[in-house]
Chain A
Amino acid sequence: MSHMMQPGIILLRDGTDTSQGKGQLLSNINACTSVVDVVKTTLGPRGMDKLMHDGRTATISNDGATIVKLLDIVHPAAKTLVDIAKSQDSEVGDGTTSVMILAGEFLKEAKQFVEDGVHPQVIIKSYRLAASLVLNKLKELEVDITKSGSKTTRDLLVNCAGTTLNSKLIGGLQGQFFAEMAVDAVLSLDEDLNIDLIGVKKVQGGAMQDSFLVDGVAFKKTFSYAGFEQQPKSFKNAKIILLNIELELKAEKDNAEIRLTNPEDYQSIVDAEWKIIYEKLDKIVASGANIVLSKLAIGDLATQYFADRQIFCAGRVAQDDLNRVSKATGAQVQTTVNNVVPEVIGSCGAFEERQVGNERYNIFTGCPNAKTATIVLRGGAEQFIAEAERSLHDAIMIVRRTVKNQRIVAGGGAIEMALSFYLRDYARTIRGKSQLIINAYAKALEVIPQQLAENAGFDSTDILNQLRHKHTQEDGLWYGVDINNEGITDTLKSFVWEPSLVKRNALSSATEAANLVLSVDETVKNPKSEQEEHQQMQAGRGRGRPMM
């Protein structure tokens, strides 16, 4: 169906594939909907997981952003969907599947109009209008959780985290367990809620219920030299010193060379080197610390030296672990052992080396100003823990968002139904094509409860009808899909909560993405870039993206 041109005039290079007009627009929409088809079964607490295998590693996930990232989508229009999922992930951390489903549904509704000859710009304009209406309404409807009753903030946050986790592998009966873990972890942080300070460690083996939260720091036993086992492995009220120096017998200056003329001087050089390292060690011992952690290596000599003096040491501690220890215990990382003042030495209530699964872990607890937490995840298989980590990350992000902005809406499709109902009402008050299109937008919003019901194996039409009916009534505002008993329920009362920020972001980026796809009416594919793309593809990676 390539576009016919005037004979004789060659405008573009031979082989250039141009396609334009309505056909192109429709084809783009189709591409987007087929991507949405892949992810839509993952929505909600009854959503399923996808297994993706690229020849080497397998990923099992339910997270929309992760799935589309791994699908490696090359279609230019469909790529916009991947981008909004990614941006949703980085902006709010959750709702990545819903944002794609919404965008897909907006496009599907628009398709009908395009086929009927409505100009895409009209659709875009009305969609924009609809989106701004919906966002305003959302602001009106959202509930401030702090005012919602007598429950403590912690309980409220647990509800939000629980809703996020519901759809994940670690949801269900254990959802509560992990939701509390995520909330406790976030609440232990200080004001600016830097989530880098929540360490997540993965130890294969054990059941999920064996996962635990350390209100301090935990990290795997580092490589140790002979003598390590003779060190004490548990302290009460430990004093901790953090270092960034090597404690090894070594050449102090790299490029130095010594010329000796008198063999007797030989011993003095040897002694001098020993003296340097012993001085360092003596100073550390003199500082009063009984736990020494270093980012660089702690050699066998130092290990044995510390063992003799009942000091615990660990070398080659990873940077972020060291940072967390520093945050938790108040110790400052030292680059020299000279002038170690008591202020830079941290302290913690208890230190212990403990067996976790097959590994030994160093665990610091009871830290005075614990502004950090570590979650140790356990699970039966590698993929299992990896998915648990992704899910927990989502939950942590949601809790963090909610702590910052305590406004929530009810999930389970309730808010979408409420907005849809509002839009339908509004549409009746306007004239022109806009009315139809805004109605279509309203219909598209219903895809969320519909998909939720469908994934749970319910009769989605029936559920939707019940919901529509309920939302026309006074008390029906927060009615959504009841996953446990096929039916509908007030999801605000049953604590299916989502931060309103998630919804706001999802609605606006889904609308943006749909509009972007709608505004394209021609694709020019350069044959050369296609060839390049082909070559790059064979090299295993490529990003030859044809012009849009």
Chain B
Amino acid sequence: MSVIFDESGRPFIILREQDKKQRLKGYDAQKSNILASTSIAKLLRTSLGPRGMDKMLVSGDGDVTVTNDGATILDQMEVQHQVAKLLVDLSQSQDDEIGDGTTGVVVLAGALLEHALTLLDKGIHPTRISDGFEKACDIGVEELARISDKLEFNKDNLEPLVKTAQTTITSKIINKHKEKFADICVKAVLDVADLERKDVNLDLIKIQGKTGGKLEDSCLVDGIVVDKDMSHPQMQKVVKDAKIAILTCPFEPPKPKTKNTIVIEDKEQYEKLYRQEQEYFVNQVKQCKDSGANLVICQWGFDDEANHLLLQNELPAVRWVGGVEIELIAIATGGRIVPRFEELDAAKLGSAGLVREVTFGTVKDRMLFIENCANTKAVTIFVRGGNKMIIEEAKRAIHDALCVVRNLIRDNRIVYGGGSAEIACSLRIGEEADKISSVEQYALRAFADALDAVPIALAENSGLNSIDHLSKIKSEQLKTKNPRIGVDAVGSGNSDMRTQGVFETLIGKQQQLRLATQVVKMILKIDDCIVTGSDQF
């Protein structure tokens, strides 16, 4: 920031380290902010839609991520620019709230800003622009609700849910097996959902990946998969109709928490101590046996002695299972977590139809599958894939799909994808714009134009002539009054998104509009950037 001089030529320092501060004011500030944001949006544009491309991101320590999930890309890019960071937050918010549409929201925000810039050039006051955008956003949200359809589904008819999940998965790397994955996701969510309260706790769905095998080997396990094996190699590998004791105490002599020392003065006492320790082990194993358990899962370790005893008593056991997994196992099997051996009884045991240790390929990796749990409220999606990158990307895709299904359970209204909803909103806003007599009219028009950015990007990414295609769709929508006509990205020759089965959740779309508008509003409202430190603006 430049130093100011008074009448007699003396500088006065008003701010600390004034000369090091940089300041951008007025139009320059707005322009630079908008340019920074649009460049982020341009970067994501190519990742939009079923034909969108992936990005490869290499982190500082050489980890490679390949993804086309907007939130992940932005997160890993480590954006420096303050205003551009707002867009990163934006996609993160969409991810947190909806889980899907993280790319679309950034593309939309970028387009809005681009159009705002032309309005600024015309000399329209930024707050008038944001007022207009807000009005437009409200109209858009209403229009979305109007054209939305209720998706009826129940336990026996999951088809609509699967279709929506498929739309999400289509743009991801696992789209070759989208039917399978969509099916897995829907079943998983319904297993853990509380349909009465419309609440789904996604923590109860465990996504476990394992390198090797093919993507289509992935499956839904109605139970839990843990990356552990039996504590002793000679224990039996398969337990049918397992009664599981879930313990959070180690197979060791109990230790009081109060500091203690045992004073041993002679040989007899020592032997007594030894005998007592032995007794503990025998008792502990006996207690497990007596309760009727035929499998022990323990959060802590076993003494070698205890391990041996367990083997002798033909009681298979698993040790060092993490707290979260213990909890999931308890929920899945309907068992209770038992904090000490004295409290074990038959009522507290969990049950599973089958517990087996599975070996993969030629490697010695083993995993424990706890399956066929009755009335399970916790499930695992087991993902296989050629390499770690694919598995990670598949996990992200599954997460997105899970979120979408969850949203449908919360609110079962849908709109149609392929840019059709955006076009419908755009048409409607354009119509409303003409009714407004003030400056906001321009802002509304700009908003309508910006909405076209999504179908344009979709068409572009699909290798179509975007402008040509868009104008065709637009006129067709107007002519037929059918808001379901969108970009035919997969080249099936059918542009009605209902028959193509491209569904998106209504709340997801509404959220995109609202979030994008709000962030744009925030960026437009800044007319002064004051920067301390070395960051270049």
Q: Are A382 and B89 in contact (CB under 8 A)?
A: yes
Q: Are A53 and B138 in contact (CB under 8 A)?
A: no
Q: How far is the CA of A284 from the CA of B336 in the complex (A)?
A: 20
The A-contacting residues of B in range 231-256, CB under 8 angstroms, are 248, 253-256
Q: How far is the CA of A172 from the CA of B521 in the complex (A)?
A: 11
Minimum CB–CB distance from A53 to chain B (whole Å) comes to: 5
Residue of B9, B13, B522 most packed against chain A (CB within 10 A):
B522
The B-contacting residues of A in range 405-462, CB under 8 angstroms, are 456-457
Query: Quick one: CB contact mask for B180-211 with A, threshold 8 Å, 1 for yes?
Result: 00000000000000000101110110000000
Q: Does B39 contact A (CB under 8 A)?
A: no
Q: Does A548 contact B (CB under 8 A)?
A: no
Q: Are B327 and A251 in contact (CB under 8 A)?
A: no
Q: Are A273 and B525 in contact (CB under 8 A)?
A: no
Indicate which residue in A54, A380, A383 contacts B532 across the interface (CB closer than 8 Å). Answer: A54
Q: Does A236 contact B (CB under 8 A)?
A: no
Q: Does A252 contact B (CB under 8 A)?
A: yes
Q: Are A226 and B276 in contact (CB under 8 A)?
A: no
Indicate which residue in A46, A230, A384 contacts B127 across the interface (CB closer than 8 Å). Answer: A46
CB neighbours (8 Å) of A204 from chain B are 89, 92-93, 96
Q: Are A381 and B86 in contact (CB under 8 A)?
A: yes
Q: How far is the CA of A512 from the CA of B424 in the complex (A)?
A: 59
Q: How far is the CA of A1 from the CA of B13 in the complex (A)?
A: 17
Minimum CB–CB distance from B344 to chain A (whole Å) comes to: 13
Q: Are A273 and B257 in contact (CB under 8 A)?
A: yes
CB neighbours (8 Å) of B340 from chain A are 274
Q: Does A520 contact B (CB under 8 A)?
A: no
Q: Are B515 and A207 in contact (CB under 8 A)?
A: yes
Q: How far is the CA of A457 from the CA of B26 in the complex (A)?
A: 13
CB neighbours (8 Å) of A259 from chain B are 260-263
CB neighbours (8 Å) of A140 from chain B are none
Minimum CB–CB distance from A436 to chain B (whole Å) comes to: 22
Q: Are A304 and B339 in contact (CB under 8 A)?
A: yes
Q: Does B130 contact A (CB under 8 A)?
A: yes
Q: Does B156 contact A (CB under 8 A)?
A: no
Q: Does A55 contact B (CB under 8 A)?
A: yes
For residue B510, which residue of chain A has the nearest CB? A207
CB neighbours (8 Å) of A1 from chain B are 8-10
Q: Does B535 contact A (CB under 8 A)?
A: yes
CB neighbours (8 Å) of B529 from chain A are 50-53
For residue B531, which residue of chain A has the nearest CB? A53
Q: Are B515 and A260 in contact (CB under 8 A)?
A: no
The B-contacting residues of A in range 227-246, CB under 8 angstroms, are 227-230, 234
Asked, given contacts A48-B526, A208-B518, whether A78 binds B14 with beta carbons under 8 Å apart, the answer is yes
Q: Are B330 and A226 in contact (CB under 8 A)?
A: yes
Indicate which residue in A74, A78, A226, A249 contacts B324 across the interface (CB closer than 8 Å). Answer: A226
Indicate which residue in B95, B130, B203, B328 contacts A172 across the interface (CB closer than 8 Å). Answer: B130
Q: Does A357 contact B (CB under 8 A)?
A: yes
Minimum CB–CB distance from B272 to chain A (whole Å) comes to: 5
Q: Does A300 contact B (CB under 8 A)?
A: yes
Q: Are B518 and A384 in contact (CB under 8 A)?
A: yes
Asked, given contacts A251-B258, A256-B258, A263-B273, whether A30 binds B12 with beta carbons under 8 Å apart, the answer is yes
Q: Does B131 contact A (CB under 8 A)?
A: yes
Q: Are B8 and A257 in contact (CB under 8 A)?
A: no
Q: Does A60 contact B (CB under 8 A)?
A: yes
Q: Are A51 and B83 in contact (CB under 8 A)?
A: yes
CB neighbours (8 Å) of B337 from chain A are 226-227, 230, 300, 304, 307
CB neighbours (8 Å) of B260 from chain A are 257-260, 269
Asked, given contacts A360-B201, A380-B515, A380-B519, whether A266 binds B89 with beta carbons under 8 Å apart, the answer is no
CB neighbours (8 Å) of B262 from chain A are 259-261, 263, 266
Q: How far is the CA of A229 from the CA of B377 in the complex (A)?
A: 10
Q: How far is the CA of A507 from the CA of B441 in the complex (A)?
A: 39
Asked, given contacts A258-B258, A270-B256, A304-B336, whether A26 binds B522 with beta carbons under 8 Å apart, the answer is no
Asked, given contacts A1-B8, A49-B522, A225-B323, whether A251 binds B257 with beta carbons under 8 Å apart, the answer is yes
CB neighbours (8 Å) of A26 from chain B are 6-7
Q: Are B259 and A23 in contact (CB under 8 A)?
A: no
Query: Quick one: CB contact mask for A319-345 with B, threshold 8 Å, 1 for yes?
Result: 000000000000000000000000000
Q: Does B177 contact A (CB under 8 A)?
A: no
Q: How far is the CA of A48 from the CA of B530 in the complex (A)?
A: 14
Indicate which residue in A31, A253, A261, A379 contacts B263 across the interface (CB closer than 8 Å). Answer: A261
CB neighbours (8 Å) of A380 from chain B are 86, 89-90, 93-94, 515, 518-519
The B-contacting residues of A in range 276-304, CB under 8 angstroms, are 300-301, 304
CB neighbours (8 Å) of A457 from chain B are 125, 128
- Of the listed stretches A5-13, A33-41, A99-107, A471-479, name the one at the interface; the rest are far from the partner chain: A33-41
Q: Are A258 and B89 in contact (CB under 8 A)?
A: no
CB neighbours (8 Å) of A250 from chain B are 257
Q: Does B227 contact A (CB under 8 A)?
A: no
For residue A203, which residue of chain B has the nearest CB? B96
Q: Are B514 and A207 in contact (CB under 8 A)?
A: yes
Q: Are B331 and A72 in contact (CB under 8 A)?
A: no
The A-contacting residues of B in range 40-96, CB under 8 angstroms, are 82-83, 85-86, 89-90, 92-96
For residue A39, which residue of chain B has the nearest CB? B528
Q: Does B393 contact A (CB under 8 A)?
A: no
Minimum CB–CB distance from B101 to chain A (whole Å) comes to: 12
Q: Does B436 contact A (CB under 8 A)?
A: no
CB neighbours (8 Å) of B259 from chain A are 251, 256-258
Q: Does B481 contact A (CB under 8 A)?
A: no
Q: Are B525 and A169 in contact (CB under 8 A)?
A: yes
Q: Does A539 contact B (CB under 8 A)?
A: no
CB neighbours (8 Å) of A269 from chain B are 256, 258, 260
19 A-B contact pairs sorted by A residue (CB < 8 Å): A23-B7, A48-B526, A49-B522, A50-B526, A52-B529, A71-B530, A75-B14, A78-B14, A206-B96, A229-B201, A230-B327, A260-B261, A266-B256, A301-B339, A304-B336, A355-B201, A381-B89, A384-B522, A457-B125
Q: Which residues of A contact B (CB under 8 A)?
A: 1, 19, 23, 26-27, 30-31, 34-35, 38, 41, 45-46, 48-55, 58, 60, 62, 70-75, 78, 169, 172-174, 204-210, 225-230, 234, 249-253, 256-264, 266-267, 269-270, 273-274, 300-301, 304-305, 307-308, 352, 354-355, 357-358, 360, 379-384, 387, 456-457, 485, 537, 542
Given contacts A169-B525, A207-B515, A257-B260, list 18 more A-B pairs with CB under 8 A.
Answer: A50-B530, A53-B530, A60-B522, A72-B16, A172-B130, A173-B131, A205-B92, A208-B514, A226-B324, A257-B259, A259-B263, A263-B269, A266-B262, A301-B339, A357-B96, A380-B94, A380-B519, A381-B89
